[in-house]
Amino acid sequence: MDIIKLTQLPEGQTLEFKRDTSSLDAILKAVIGFANSAGGIILIGVDDDGSIVGLLEPAKVQEQVANAIAHRIKPQLLPEFNIVEVRHKSMLVIQVEHIPAPFYLTNKGEEQGVFIRLGNSTRLASKETIAEMKRASHHPYFDKAPCNNVGEKDLDMPLIQKTLANSNISINSEKLMSLGILTHRGKRVVATNGGIILFGKPDILYEYFPFAQVRCARFAGTSRAEFIDRFNVEGSILHAIDEVPKFIRRNTRMAGKFGGMQRKDIAEYPMGGIREALTNALVHANYEISGTRIFVAIYDDRLEIQNPGIMPPGMSIEQFKAGVSRIRNPVIARVFGELNLVEEWGSGYKRIREACKQGGYPEPQWEELGTVLRVTFFPHPDFAHKAPADQVGTKSGLSWDQVGTKLELTSEATLILQMCQQPKTLVELMSALYLKNRTKFRQKYLNPLIEQKLLQMTIPDKPNSRMQKYQTTTIGLELGHPKN
């Protein structure tokens, strides 16, 4: 383990810095959060900005933390402790593995003491997340479980026949059993939760899973204040595969680009990557969560696909990007596989990223927000600087492209201003531009924009804060969207 390299990384899903043990509760919550999520490392003796401050008595600190973990966390948790010395300063390294439990603070109990890791923060787990953790510790899957006393007669057989028509599958009870659409409950054959979500008759589907739906909306501007268009996918989530792309196409733009004598049509968003992300959302959503649906939202500056359920217990966004696969809904995944909608497991992120990169689109961003997972796509640079279709011809002033030209900005700098209409982190901006060197990125792009008063830090007094984000200033916004 290279400790120096770790201190140069930002705090995130699997990394936490603590200067000392003055806030022991926060350390215990971080330990629980890592154990309940994807594991992680806590460095004690390191400031928030990654600077090594060291510990005067590291052995005493280790004993203090180990005793607190032993007496204040249940079930028993045994992380690995190591005292290391870097640049003549000692620090304590705590390595926590993910173990299905869930773990919780003894004095708060399971309802208020279970924590998970979301990005670089530790949050109280929702009751739905806790239920999923408990189920994961015993290995069953929600979509494989029997759906009360719902039987084969409650399945939409014509839809099953139509859906699997090209799969060379003989549709009978035995085959539906092997696909996980049916299962045994004692001596009875009943439908599974996954079977009803995919193929339940409309009244049965609505009765048991009223939130297993996909909703789509096109909003005016960059907030949800005003609808332009909306659409709800009725019936099985399988219908979303064809219907959602149609909605997106009618609410986004196409541009023509000429190379020599050839015209090339460019979509505002990478439809191949979006289709992959939509499939991901349908297959990996947590359908046990009530009150939250899969949601596709189109704004002037971005397109979002959001599904209920953060990454499955033991899985992080970083692992997802690295190709690690953990299936939440094996029944739904199996049917999608039969339809060739899912290729090699663990390759989804790679295919989405490649689709964006090859088409010249910014890299999309994934984030866990409360109980949902959201992926955000950004327009092709040919669109990022233009007014939306419903604004073309109006008195809208300079476009982002014209702003960039007038101020002699690079296309990268112009895209940063456009993206930062909503606050963005350094990592989000670098990812969108496929850049990796933080120092060069700051020097070449961020600092000049800040000096021109077009960009600002959200926490200017703490430039190295782990919570730091960047936002387009009022001056920058007025250049791109001047008042009439």
Interval 154-201: pLDDT, tens: 999 999 999 988 777 778 888 899 999 999 887 889 999 999 999 999
Distance in angstroms (rounded) separating the CA atoms of residues 151 and 204: 10
Integer Cα distance of 214 and 239 in angstroms: 9
- Same-domain check for residues 334 and 459: no
What is the tens place of the pLDDT at every residue in 301-358? 999 999 999 988 878 888 888 888 788 899 999 999 888 887 656 678 889 999 999 9
Q: Do 319 and 376 lie in a common domain? A: yes
pLDDT at 484 over 50: no
Same domain, 421 and 459: yes
The partner residues of 420 in beta bridges, in order of sequence, read none
**Where a domain ends, among 382, 406, 430?**
382
d(CA 265, CA 257): 6
State whether 222 and 350 are in the same domain: yes
Domain limit, last residue, from 343, 363, 382: 382
Same domain, 304 and 410: no
The share of the chain scoring above pLDDT 70, in percent, equals 90
This prediction's pTM: 0.68
In a domain, 261, yes or no: yes
Predicted pLDDT of residue 216: 96
Q: Which is higher by pLDDT, 141 or 406?
A: 141
Classify residue 130: in a domain, yes or no.
no
Whether residues 443 and 455 share a domain: the answer is yes
Mean pLDDT of the chain: 87
Range of the domain at 194: 142-208
Res 390: pLDDT? 47
Largest CA distance in the chain: 75
Q: How many CB atoms lie within 10 A of CB 214?
A: 25
- Domain endpoint, select from 208, 229, 244: 208
- Position 259 scores a pLDDT of 59
CATH code (residue 7): 3.30.950.30
Same domain, 146 and 44: no
Kindly state whether residues 286 and 371 are assigned to the same domain: yes
| Separation of alpha carbons 227 and 254, rounded Å | 21
pLDDT of residue 415: 81
Number of domains in the chain: 4
**DSSP E strands: which ranges in 347-469?**
365-369, 372-377, 455-457
My answer on whether 220 and 363 are in the same domain is yes
Any idea which of 26-30, 135-139, 187-191 has the lowest mean pLDDT?
135-139
Q: Do 119 and 167 lie in a common domain?
A: no
Tell whether 118 and 238 lie within a shared domain: no
- Within a domain: 137: no
The conformation of residue 312, written as its DSSP 8-state character, comes to: P
Within a domain: 132: no
Q: Cβ(258)–Cβ(273) under 8 Å?
A: no
Query: Contact 269/253 with Cβ under 8 angstroms?
Result: no
Exposed / middle / buried, residue 75 (Cβ in 10 Å: 0-12, 13-18, 19+): exposed
Residues 242 and 378 in one domain: yes
